[in-house]
Structure formats: structure tokens, C-alpha cells
């Protein structure tokens, strides 16, 4: 195990009806003027925004609001939020929504106290200051409610890039699983896929002797394999929703990733798909991650056998370990298909002829991308090709 520093300061308030806690928590973390940030309408339609406003009013905290965050959030709305936040004297941003809303809120929180262009932090600059962010989560997926990450798309050039720093971890996150019951099945399934992908990005490592994090990762994966189909079959199943929501947080606040090298190339490859075609992040991962696995498994066949046997219930073939590894990947892809996810470019809405564009935008140049297996331009081209043609 490698040395590590794990800092996860978010207060999580979890359970039925807890959105009414918003006002109390904003006050607790020093907020005196709130920017309520939300998406394209689901939180307004469900009455959640009104509930949050009432909670703030009851706590005596004034607010202003900015809706309209779209999935794969754009820099353009963040600039508006920064302007609004400054003119209104906002000192805390409350994101009511999913990963897109939370990431947009984090961008605004970075931009308000910063003299330059907030995009600097999505181009490699280390942030030193950000306003506090609180969240009311409405979809279990991205894990931004506990993570120090924010992923934003720059409209000019369609660049999807991330900022990462512990100061971006929310001060508090309100997590009511019942709020996710209004999600369309596709979004629920895409969220479940993203949660599993966040684990696999950490599971495939070259660091030896990481039994504790391996076992935590496997626990989350087994939970998702049990609960995702339950919730697809019965969207109002609160208990399944609750397990998935907490799994989504655990999958990405890095408790499962400490002390080990991580990969993240499936995410990097997917971000180019969601930037170019505006596809749902989790759906893009359903196409990219099994393709990445098929390309890299020979780098460490036994690690893939571990996944296949411990997570997907395969019998170990000691004569032919590769067959076990390949069967594990096959079961992963068919699981994703069984919950309604696409498995290839055509089902996702991506085009094989765009592969050179996708590769170019990854910006690898003549170098290599680090990870479980280092990848150069030819490697990523081949992974996109596998993804384009994948079948069950």
C-alpha cells in the first residue's frame, strides 16, 4: 500500500425528508446569502426547490437563484453564476440536483473569489480559495456530493475538463433517496453504471497488497449488481434507492482508492464522447469501460480473474486464466445491457468516423497516458474501435 492523505470533511445528512435541513446546514457553515443553483426543471417540478426555499426562509437566510444547468454542464452558465453571485454578495452556493448541477456550483464557487478566469482551474491551475458549497442530491451517480472534483464543458471547442482539489469537497450534502424515485429509468441505470465505473477506475491498479480497498471496492460492486436491477424493476423501491445512493458516495469520495495507483482512462475516453455528442456520462461509460477492459486485460490477467470470480461469480479456469478474465468482462457488459445501457457506438449515438477527432481531443500527442496500462494514440484508437463494434 502507498502512503496517503485522506481528507473527506463533508457532513452527510441522509434519509427520507431531510431536504428541510437545508436552511439549518447553510447557517451552520456560515452562509448569510445563498445562491440556489439547479438544473433544467426536475427539481422545480417535484417541488424540491420550493421546499429548499422554505427551509432557507425559515432559517432566516436570504437567497437568489440560478437554474438551467444542463447535463454535461457548460462554462457559459458558470460565468453568469459568478456575475450574479458577486452582484448579490453570495457567500455560499447550494446545488440542488445531480453531478452536473453540483459541478457547475463548484465552478461558481471557485470563480466568485478569483480575479482571473475560473477556467484556469480546469486547465491545470491549483485553486487556493472557493466559496463553500452545499448540495441537495437528486440522482445517485457522479459522487460529486462527496468528491473534490468538478467536470465542466467549455462550449468554445467542446472541451470537457476537470478541476480537482479538496477545497471543492462540499461542506454538507443532503441525501434523500426518495428524491431519486422520479428519475427516468435510463438516468437511474446510467447513474448505476457511473458508480461501478468509479470503483473499477480504482480497482484496476498496479499497486500490490491493497486487500482492504480491494474488498471495499468489491462490496460496492456486489451491492450495485444486486440493487440496480431491483430499482429498474421497481423505481419506488426506497431501500434499493438508499443503498445505491450511499454506494454512489462511497464509490467516489476516494475511500476505496486511497493507497493505490488508479486508472481513469475509461473516464478520459468517455469525457470526449460526452463533450462531442452530449451523451449521458454513465451511458458513455457503459460503452467505453468494457472496451477498455478488453484491450488492457492482458496487462494483468489475474487481476481481471479476481474481478471475474469475486464480483461476477465466474469459476476460475486454472488451465486458462484468460478465459476467466474474458468471461468476467463479458458478464459486466451484459449486466450493463440488462439494465438498459448501450454497449456500442451505434446504440450510444456516436460515430466511428469521428474516432480521429476523439483521439485528437484527448491531447496525448506523441506521449502516453498513465494508468493501469499506459496508453498511446494507437492504443486509444483501438479502444474506441472496440467500443464502436462491441456486441454481446
Q: Give the span between the Cα atoms of 78 and 121, in whole angstroms.
A: 13
Site residues (CB under 5 A) for Zn ion, limited to 160-219: 194
Choice from 281, 303, 331, 369 touching ligand NZQ (CB under 6 A): 281
Q: Give the span between the Cα atoms of 9 and 378, in whole angstroms.
A: 41
Please choose, from the candidates 92, 82, 85, the residue with its C-alpha nearest in 3D space to the C-alpha of residue 30.
Answer: 92
Nearer to ligand NZQ, 280 or 306 (CB): 280
Site residues (CB under 6 A) for ligand NZQ, limited to 21-80: 39-43, 71-72
CA 370 to centroid of chain Cα atoms: 20
Nearer to ligand NZQ, 216 or 279 (CB): 279
Cell of 69: 444547468
Output phi, psi for 45, to 5 deg: -60, -40
Cell of 319: 488451465
Q: Give the span between the Cα atoms of 201 and 251, in whole angstroms.
A: 10
Binding window for ligand NZQ (CB under 6 A); candidates: 57-65, 140-148, 231-239, 315-323: 140-148
Is 276 near ligand NZQ (CB under 6 A)?
A: no
Cβ of residue 267: shortest distance to Zn ion, in angstroms? Answer: 6
Is 245 near ligand NZQ (CB under 6 A)?
A: no
Answer positive or negative: Cα dihedral of 101, 95, 251, 193.
negative
Cβ of residue 6: shortest distance to ligand NZQ, in angstroms? Answer: 16
Is 249 near ligand NZQ (CB under 6 A)?
A: no
Q: Are 12 and 250 in contact (CB under 8 A)?
A: no
Print the binding letters for residues 145-174 with ligand NZQ: x by CB under 6 A, - otherwise: --x-xxx-----------------------
DSSP string, 58-85: HTT--EEEE--PPSS-BHHHHHHHHHHH
Binding window for ligand NZQ (CB under 6 A); candidates: 99-107, 212-220, 329-337, 348-356: 99-107
Choice from 49, 94, 101, 256 touching ligand NZQ (CB under 6 A): 101
Q: Are 42 and 76 in contact (CB under 8 A)?
A: no
Nearer to Zn ion, 194 or 379 (CB): 194
Max CA separation in the chain (angstroms): 69
Q: Give the span between the Cα atoms of 44 and 19, in whole angstroms.
A: 14
Choice from 21, 75, 103, 272 touching ligand NZQ (CB under 6 A): 103
Q: Which spans of this chain sit near Zn ion (rule: CB under 5 A)?
A: 194
Residues that bind ligand NZQ (CB under 6 A): 39-43, 71-72, 97-101, 103, 138-139, 141-144, 147, 149-151, 179-180, 182-183, 187, 191, 194, 252, 267, 281-282
Amino acid at each position: 500500500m502507498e502512503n496517503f492523505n485522506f481528507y473527506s470533511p463533508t457532513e452527510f445528512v441522509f434519509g427520507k425528508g431531510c431536504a428541510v435541513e437545508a436552511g439549518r446546514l447553510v447557517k451552520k457553515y456560515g452562509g448569510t446569502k445563498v445562491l440556489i443553483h439547479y438544473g433544467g426543471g426536475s427539481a422545480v417540478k417535484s417541488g424540491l426547490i420550493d421546499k429548499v426555499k422554505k427551509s432557507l426562509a425559515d432559517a432566516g437566510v436570504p437567497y437568489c437563484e440560478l437554474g438551467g444547468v444542463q447535463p454535461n454542464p457548460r462554462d457559459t452558465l458558470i460565468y453568469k453564476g459568478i456575475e450574479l453571485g458577486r452582484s448579490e454578495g453570495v457567500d455560499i452556493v447550494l446545488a440542488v440536483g445531480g453531478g452536473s448541477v453540483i459541478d457547475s456550483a463548484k465552478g461558481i464557487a471557485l470563480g466568485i473569489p478569483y480575479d482571473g478566469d475560473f477556467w484556469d482551474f480546469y486547465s491545470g491551475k491549483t485553486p487556493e480559495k472557493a466559496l463553500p458549497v452545499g448540495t441537495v442530491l437528486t440522482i445517485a451517480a457522479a459522487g460529486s456530493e462527496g468528491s473534490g472534483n468538478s467536470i465542466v464543458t467549455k462550449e468554445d471547442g467542446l472541451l470537457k475538463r476537470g478541476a480537482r482539489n479538496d477545497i471543492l469537497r462540499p461542506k454538507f450534502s443532503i441525501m434523500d433517496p426518495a428524491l431519486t424515485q422520479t428519475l427516468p429509468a435510463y438516468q437511474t441505470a446510467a447513474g448505476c453504471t457511473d458508480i461501478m465505473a468509479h470503483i473499477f477506475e480504482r480497482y484496476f491498479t498496479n499497486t500490490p497488497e491493497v486487500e482492504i480497498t480491494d474488498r471495499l471496492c468489491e462490496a460496492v460492486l456486489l451491492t450495485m449488481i444486486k440493487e440496480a436491477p431491483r430499482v429498474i424493476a421497481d423505481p419506488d423501491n426506497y431501500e434499493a434507492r438508499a443503498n445505491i445512493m450511499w454506494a454512489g458516495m462511497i464509490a467516489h469520495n476516494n475511500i476505496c482508492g486511497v493507497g493505490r495507483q488508479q486508472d481513469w482512462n475509461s473516464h478520459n475516453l468517455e469525457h470526449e464522447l460526452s463533450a462531442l455528442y452530449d451523451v449521458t456520462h454513465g451511458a458513455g461509460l457503459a460503452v467505453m469501460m468494457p472496451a477498455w477492459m478488453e484491450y488492457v486485460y492482458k496487462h494483468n490477467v489475474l487481476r481481471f480473474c479476481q474481478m471475474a470470480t469475486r464480483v461476477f461469480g465466474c469459476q476460475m479456469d486454472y488451465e486458462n486464466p484468460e478465459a476467466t478474465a474474458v468471461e468476467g468482462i463479458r458478464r459486466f457488459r451484459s449486466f450493463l445491457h440488462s439494465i438498459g445501457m448501450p454497449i456500442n457506438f451505434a446504440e450510444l449515438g456516436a460515430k466511428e468516423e469521428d474516432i480521429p477527432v476523439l483521439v485528437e481531443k484527448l491531447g496525448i500527442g506523441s506521449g502516453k497516458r498513465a494508468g493501469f496500462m499506459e496508453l498511446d494514440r494507437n492504443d486509444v484508437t483501438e479502444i474506441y474501435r472496440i467500443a464502436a463494434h462491441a456486441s454481446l
